[in-house]
Structure 1
Amino acid sequence: MGPVRLTARQEDLAVAAAGLLGGLLLLAFRAYDARPGLPVWAVALPLVAMAALETVRRRWTVWTVCLGGALFGAAVYLGSLTATLLMYTDLLYAATLYGPARMSKVLQLTGAAATLVLSALTWRYGSVPGALLVAVFCGLIFLAPVWTADLLRRHRDRAETERLRAEQTALLAELDRRGAVVAERARMARELHDVIANHLSAIAIHATGAQAVARRQHRAPDEPLVEALAVIRENSVQGLAEMRRMIGLLRETVPEEPYAAPRLAAVDVLLDQARAAGRDAGLRFEAEESGERGELSAPLELAAYRIVQESLTNAVKHAAPGPVRLRIRYGEGELVISVESAYRAGEGRPVPGAKAGLVGMGERAQLLGGEFTAGPRGETWTVRAVLPRTAGGERA
């Protein structure tokens, strides 16, 4: 069980109750100095009034100090009760700590003046030792609480200033970071638009022109050349559409069409494209799904789709003639993707950017906390990815 924390109002009430109970205890044992023949209630009256002022010591600092000073004088004249004097010092302390900023100077001046006047009167009509005792007593009553509260207030204000400065520095750093991110995203968007998008657009235009030439030459739609041109144009147009949506996201503008992340339901489209592209190379694509798909998170579905897409693309580029088998298994806690294709060591020629796709697939699997392997097994090239279905498996 932790320490009990009181609100400001509860603290004031607790201080007032403690002072009142302490004073009543002193009165019960007659531990006070009063004029002869003075009734007890006359000494208790300033005590009760001072305790009442303690309940509002934070809210009405000026009034509590003024009325408290009058009660202090009455208490000294009627009967010196320690609890009453201590509560007055607490009123001075609270007024300095919670009151206006000028309250400290005012109380220091009035306290010093009261100490000087009372000490001088005692020295004039009494003795020097008595004047020194009065000076010490007045300093403890009028000046010590004010100095203590003023010191605490300075430390509190300095700490608040440092906190605000730290928050301002953190805010400026965050603004700089966001500005750098926005600038980098804008630079990436420009590079994508000026370089990659232009190349894809050129490919699509040339493929369209080549298709027009093929039609004028009355070539059959099922000719390998015409089919290849159709695949080139379809893929380039699709790449342009995705590139345009990506550029819109990088520039933080609302695209004309909302960006829809690819889903595994579109795997059939990927298979159709792969079959059309790999028909002349002797590739036969087969797909098999097992288990209950259920609800898949968007990051998981996007990663799975991209892994399938890249695996099929690699099969079209590098696989030897034969079957290409895609298997997707939906388990209770994981999603398993495997793609197997015919492989012969040493066949094919180096392609610019080779193995970049494998690295990208491995990174996607690692970001989700999964596993990825790719490599030859005898005469078969196998790509296998195991992705956890739960969001807890994702890594930052």
Structure 2
Amino acid sequence: MFTGWRRFADHHPRLIETAFLLLVYAAAGGQYLIAGPGPSWWIGLPLATAACLSLPWRRGRPHAVVVFTAVCVGVSGGLGYELSPQLLLPVIVALYELAVRTPERTARTHGFAVIALVFLMAVLSGQGSQPWAESAILTAFWCMLPVVLGGAVRLRRAYLGAVQTRAEHAERTREEEARHRVAEERVRIARELHDVVAHHMALANAQAGTAAHFARSRPEQAEKILGELTGTTASALRELQATVGLLRQPDDPDDTLAPAPGLGRLPELVSAFASAGLQVTVTVDGEERPLSPGGDLTAFRIVQESLTNVAKHAAAHHAQVRLAYTRDLLVLTVSDDGDGTSPPPAPGGGFGLIGMRERAQTVGGRFEAGHRPGGGFAVTAELPIHS
């Protein structure tokens, strides 16, 4: 039942406000009509009417309404009316609204000022029949009660507002974090798909072109290259299947990187490019050291993408891969002997260099790429070694 009344009040605030103010006026003005010996009703009723008529403005101008109602009540007390709760009711309502909407110090100051004003006017007039001690206690109680209750309501509203703000902030933070994680995963999968598709398609295209070139003059060589082309496309399908499988993994995607390709497959990669007409030389400086799964994958993908770019754009016949191991770093360099011209941009922009740079930064490394002074192009990546 209480919930029903609360819902009705939420949907009809003006009606509830009007009914409340009429009850206040009935209580404050009715005392003058049933008063016993003392001042006539026509003296006090206009004061009660004026005080109640100011209450609709208590939310917009709480200070002014408190002062006005206090003056009306004080004048009534000075005229000899008994300082009862009914007489103080307009100023009680005004003080409550002031305590709800202003700081505690302001509300208390106004409360003490109202007590002093009403009590002094009632006592100094000498027309009241109540003992001064009783008047002082009743006035102090009924004026400070709304200040205390209003302050408690204000603090509770502030607490609930702070809780709601924290909850909304936490919800926004969770949503932003989820969007950030989704974006990172999309970028990582897109990078994997780009590397796999670009490498294998470029390699297959080069092998098909070489086989077509040898078809008449060296059919045995062409047949061998076509056999290797079949292996290239099969490898492309396997890697695509593994990469797309990341989208279906319910567990941590990092776990799926364990069987990913690494530098251990470098001889296989070099052999594949050799069948496409690109001779690749691999040199190793320093003692070989194992990299983390993520670092090993990054190193392999950078070599793979660099050699793919050489085969596609550099018009080169030879490329060199240099692996230099230090205590904390693997310095990986891929260079070619091309003519040094920049490759034409792909429609919509290329993502090979961007992807390699992102891969290196993901594992805490650095990446550089640019033309060599003597001709050709070089890619250098510094990757940390985690034992």
Interval containing the TM-score (normalised by the shorter chain): 0.3 to 0.5
TM-score by length of 1: 0.46
TM-score by length of 2: 0.47
Identify which of structures 1 and 2 has the higher relative contact order when contacts are C-alpha pairs closer than 8 Å and 6+ apart: 2
